[in-house]
Amino acid sequence: MATKASNTVAAALASASDTPLTPANFQRLRQRWKATVTGKHVRVNSDDVYYALSKLSGTAEQYIANMQPSRVHIWEDLSPIHLSVNFRKSYERLRTIAQSYSIPGSIHYHDLNVQETIIQSLDFISSEIYNASVVQAKGENWWNFRIGAPLALVDIAILLYDDLTPRRRHDIGATIIKNIGSIGQRSLKGANRADICLALIGAGVITNEEAEVSRGRWCLSDKEYDGENSIFELVESGEGLYEGGSYLSHEIFPYTGGYGVQHYYSLSKAVNVLSKSPYHINSTELQVTFAAINSTFSPVMWRGMMMGHIRGRDIARKSEPDAFWGNLFLQSLLYFADTELVPREHRIFFKSLARSIWEAAPLPDLYGLNITQAFGMQKVLEERIPPAAPPIGTFATPMSDRIMHHRPEWAAALAMSSSRIGRYEALNHENLRPWYQGDGFLYVYTDKDPLHFSNDYWPTMDPYHTPGVTNGQNPQDPPAYKFTAHRDWAGGLDWRGTHGLAGLDALSTDKGSSAKKSWFFLLNSIIALGAGCAGLSGTEVHTTYESRNLPISGSNFSINGDYQIMNPGWIKPWEETHEQVDWAYLDSFGGYVFLDKEPVSFKHEKRKGKWTDINQYPDYLGFSDPITREYLTIYRNHGIDPEDGRYAYALLPSASPDETRDFATIPPVNVTHNTPRLQAIQFNNTVMANFWSGGTIGYLTAVTPCSITWGYSGVEDKYLTISVSDPTQKATRVVLFLNDPDIGGVAEKDDSIQLRWGRAGETGSVTITVNVEGTHGKTHRVSFERISWRGTLESLPWRPPVKETATSTTTTASRRVRPAATKKPFANNATVMSTKAGHKPAPAKYKTSTISKTSIGAVKTVKSVKPSVGTAKPSVGTVKPSPGATKSSLRTRKSSLETITPEAATTSIVLKSTTYAASH
């Protein structure tokens, strides 16, 4: 890694001009910097620009009106000024006023009284506390001194550059340089490195000091340590971009939606400002940066917002909602797109992606664009650049223990933790109720209620009933900082890009509850299994299926089709346990199907809270108003200190009541195993399983623990494809044994996979050894030719060399007839749905099959494929009910078919034994 980074730095150094910066160069740098703060002023014809300018002017006017200068403060609520958080926030307010002073059309544009107010305030802060002689007091937050205050001060000085005396400019630059201090620390990585470098470049631009511009520029590349911590490269530890789509901060916390966005914002601003100077950053250095836009950032966005599972402690900040970080990422894209050194195709794609973020926002004023973003988007709209397609499919980022699953009308994000990744981040008195945020928290976003997590969710949610989590109900101690989970297993894989599998060996922080947990992400549903649910805390152990923050307008709810009383403004809460319940439906979400027919508890309540209940950092103490929200909670009570509790349920986001009832009546998914050793499901011709201790399903045996999915793939199911991963990231190899008479030679395989065939001259028996050492939980794949496919072995593409499959290339003298299929997938195995008579088929946009490879300029999307005639044949064990069939008769007839032996089935994927099956 260091060698590669060093080569990149050397190439960049070679391209830099030896010509010193001239006064004209510095003038150009200041002009470009000013444009990043105020936007490029063009004719205003956008509602977003009018709104942003009005909001900016109004906020600045309020700040000016509330000024109460004294010996200890400028604003009374930011007193005393000697506290770093107060002088930093004072600078940020002055920046807002300076923006309003500098933008034509603002009520403060070139107002001399406003100009004098800003300059006097700068002089006051400099004389009292923040100057080139200040020494950081013990206990103060270093970030305010080295990053927060400098970045705000640079913007102010450049906005008012012509109004400041040379002496004031010199003092401001000296103050920034002194407080930033040394930038040679190896620990300076990611967002913090980008921020500090940007501030240094700004200090040089203010004072015409080329040395500081140079120092900040080459610190981005970490020239001092040969690129070891270059923010242009992937990292292997600490803060920054990791292989496989992860962004970590503070070593162990997934933070794509917080520090990751800040990293890109500061870097993109530096790229934009320097683009016309000899210190420009060329596109060669930015290759990794641009690639991560697709692999790291797009998958964690939904409807223009950053998902909560990668925002760390930022979720506890009222003033920085998920849309705030989405807009900041949009601004980063616009900065990159406004840089001529960036290749044209990249610039067009960045504008296209920015437009998709802007258009996807559920409400235009959810968290309005700032003035720079508004001007940038006006330009994109004028250029008529179409929006980029949203991501569709499953995205696993094993280095951060996260899984994202995107569908056309909903999305899900799973937050796990392990011996590698922290459960939660609680720092600086922020995020004070985080206990189970990394224990299998399943975020589900739907178009039915797009503002669910933005509707004051975090201060009002029940931290002991977190969706997806199994935990004891005993009170937890105050949160600690920077520790990982107790166990290794957390991760999963994606299947053909459209489906996903995840598993978590959960043991709570206090070791009071544990469970083996699996999630299966399908096209129209999420299947959740749990086994070995146990407790030692002396309290009940609950698995929370749902804890939904209901819209202010209310939401209808039904159990087995019977609607409950849940009118808006109700007074009396209710809680009840149903012994026999098949399904439930919530208008603002979709459907819930209870696959094991065990007792389920429902609770409808009002919950009260304040943002200051979860955030006591001085920045956010103003958000102390009481809030009330309505919640529906669905959970399984495993009892007090259970030893082997279980659960099995399905979530059907955005489904209709009829679709939910049909799923419950004849589930299109068969739960084949749900034990602490093996959890697995089968649908169509696909099996997905977490082998916690190894085991056998049908023709396949896992000798070692692993996550695995296998099934038919390719046009008309030509191949049998196996995907496997090591979620523990501790194994050196995973060993599988496949004894399937339907497999022939190898179609393709990853280099990490070795095959050892069975008896000479025969196909169908193969030992698969996967080298997983050092692969950090990534997915490994191998595809075999299916002998029973229509055609001969010779007619199949990608024939393996004879030396590789010498024992697997024997062909029959005549054409081998494909066995009569008793089930065949919809649209090339892509649709999971019931075959019950009268079932409404999924819209065509759901019947998807082709995933495009992610690359610059192309987000991972799904291409609709029209199903071929005759592909919608019912699955094994499904019964087409007669028009008058009752639910009980359907169960009886379906149950009788579950006794069919594996030998009686004719599909290639045969379940050897069913240790756990859902009753239908």
Confidence at residue 716, expressed as pLDDT on a 0 to 100 scale: 84
Nearest one of 317, 550, 342 to 449, comparing CA atoms: 550
pLDDT at 230: 92
Domain boundary among 622, 644, 665: 665
Total domain count, the chain: 3
236 located within any domain: yes
DSSP secondary structure code for residue 71 in this structure: S
Residues 6+ apart with CB under 8 A from 166: none
Rounded Cα gap, residues 41 and 375, in angstroms: 7
pTM of the predicted model over 0.95: no
**Residues in the chain where the model's pLDDT stays below 70:** 1-19, 363-366, 566-572, 759-763, 790-920
915 falls within a domain: no
The answer on 577 and 473 residing in a single domain is yes
Tokens of 819: 């066995």
Length of the chain: 920
Helix axes 23-38, 190-207, angle to 10 degrees: 130
**Structure tokens of 143?**
């970030």
Of 664, 586, 564, residue with least CA distance to 887:
664
Domain shared by 60 and 203, yes or no: yes
Token code pair at residue 466: 């977190």
**What CATH number has the domain bearing residue 479?**
2.70.98.10
CA distances to 108, 638, 868, 916 from 600, rounded to whole Å, are 60, 10, 41, 19
Q: Is residue 788 part of a domain?
A: yes
HSE (side-chain half, CA atoms, 13 Å) at 82: 9
Whether residue 771 sits in one domain with residue 640: no
Is residue 590 domain-shared with residue 728, that is, in the same domain? no
For residues 69 and 201, membership in a common domain is answered with yes
User: Quick one: 437 and 477 in the same domain?
Assistant: yes
Q: How many CB atoms lie within 10 A of CB 367?
A: 19
The per-residue pLDDT for 917 is: 33
CATH of the domain at 879: 2.60.220.10
Same domain for 353 and 456, yes or no, is no
Residue 387 within any structural domain of the chain: no
In a domain, 618, yes or no: yes
Q: Which residue has the tokens 């065509």?
A: 844
Report the CATH number at residue 287. 1.50.10.100
Q: Tell me the C-alpha distance between 98 and 165, whole Å.
A: 16
Q: Which domain holds residue 151?
A: 2-382
Check whether residue 638 and residue 704 sit in a common domain: no
pLDDT of residue 183: 86
Identify which of 390, 397, 391, 395 has the alpha carbon closest to the alpha carbon of residue 245. Answer: 397
Could you read off the pLDDT of 512-524 as tens digits, one per residue? 999 999 999 999 9
Phi, psi of 656 (to 5 degrees): -95, 165
